[in-house]
Amino acid sequence: MLKFVTAILLTFISFNLQAQTWEVGLGGGGAAYMGDLNQTNPLKFSGGAGSIFVKRNFNPYLSARLTYTYGSISAADSTSSDPLTRQRNLSFTDHLNEISLIGEFNFMNYIAGVSHNRYTPFVYLGVATVNYNPTAIYQGTKYDLRPLQTEGESKPYPNSAISIPYGVGIKYNITGSWNLIADIGYRQPNTDYLDDVSGTYPNPAKLNSAIARALSDPSGEKTGSYIGTPGTQRGDMRSHDTYMFAQFTISYTFVTEKCYFEQ
């Protein structure tokens, strides 16, 4: 998937390299998640994130960018301060691959190397598709959770979702056409399975394997005392998980002489 997205971005850039208001960038930072295994802390970073984008600046205030972002999120009940949550003993790691189309609005007149303003705060909103695949480690072995149907689903849930990115940031003109960008943005995907947890404990007799039963209710892994009574709450009963990326980005704006005359 990464090779495919890179090819699209490079092709996109090659056709527009001479345009006076195009911009390319590369970023890195952290990823966070809120859901059934982290219900209260929206800034609990659990993994890294990286992105590459190409952007069309329509004018000093409005732009649209096509972005590929990779992020890693994870959580474990064993680290919770709540004894009941620790007893549940669920955990997951997920690698997110997101392709987004995002609109940006600058609060100040800003084109790198052209505008008098060296910086501007901005907001953004867009639409994205995200691929995800939660995994967990049990007795030293990593398992893909989706095919195990740990909540007794009639079929595995989808491994992709539509997501709504929104956030804020600030841009700073370092020198010439070079920009330093810092931003933080949340995503609202139409899934509650980023962490493989959503509703209630299933009847273990209806699960498709011994490992599915073990990972559906690992509460007794160490104590032998299991809490997963069928029909009782397993997740937080919210309809969606959320995830977040916070990054620093270096970008370059292609500015021609014509652009200077137009400003």
Tens-place pLDDT, residues 111-126 = 888 888 999 999 999 9
How far from 1 is each of 40, 50, 92, 98, CA to CA, in Å? 33, 15, 22, 10
Work out whether strand 135-138 and strand 119-131 pair parallel, antiparallel, or are unpaired: unpaired
Inter-residue contact 211 to 205 (CB < 8 Å): no
Alpha-carbon gap, residue 237 to 199, rounded angstroms: 6
Detail the DSSP E strand segments found in the chain. 22-34, 45-57, 62-76, 91-106, 119-131, 135-138, 141-144, 160-175, 178-189, 242-254
Q: How many percent of the chain have pLDDT more than 70? A: 89
209 pLDDT band, cuts 50/70/90, is very high
- Note the pLDDT tens digit of each residue in 86-100: 999 999 999 999 999
Mean pLDDT score across all residues of the chain: 90
Neighbours of 80 (CB within 10 A): 17
Q: What distance in Å separates the CA atoms of residue 39 and residue 75, rounded to the nearest whole number?
A: 11
- By residue range, what is the domain housing residue 248? 2-262
**Is residue 64 pLDDT above 60, yes or no?**
yes
Q: Is the pLDDT at 21 greater than 90, yes or no?
A: no
- Work out how many domains the chain is built from and give that number: 1
Task: Read off the pLDDT of residues 152-170 as tens digits, 9 standing for 90 and up.
Answer: 999 999 999 999 999 999 9
Alpha carbon 76 to its chain's center: 18
- pLDDT band of residue 221 (cuts 50, 70, 90) is confident
CA atoms within 13 A on the CB side of 80: 20
Could you tell me the pLDDT band of residue 24, with boundaries at 50, 70 and 90? very high
Do the bridges between strand 62-76 and strand 91-106 make them parallel or antiparallel, or are there none, so unpaired? antiparallel
For residue 71, is pLDDT > 80? yes
- Residues paired with 170 in a beta bridge: 121, 182
Contact predicate 36/195, CB 8 Å: yes
The predicted pLDDT at position 114 comes to: 83
The residue count of the chain comes to: 263
Based on DSSP, count helices (H) and strands (E) in the chain, helices before strands: 4, 10
Q: Which residue has the higher pLDDT, 239 or 255?
A: 239
Position 74 pLDDT exceeds 90: yes
Per-residue pLDDT of 187-205, as tens digits, reads 999 999 999 999 999 999 9
The pLDDT value recorded for residue 223 is 79
Binning pLDDT at 50, 70 and 90, where does residue 53 land?
very high
Least confidently predicted of 17-21, 44-48, 242-246: 17-21
**CA dist 3 to 6, 23, 66, 68, 211, Å?**
5, 21, 15, 11, 33
We report the CATH number of the domain holding residue 63 as 2.40.160.20
Hey, which residues does 247 pair with through a beta bridge?
A: 29, 183
Above 50 in pLDDT, residue 263?
no
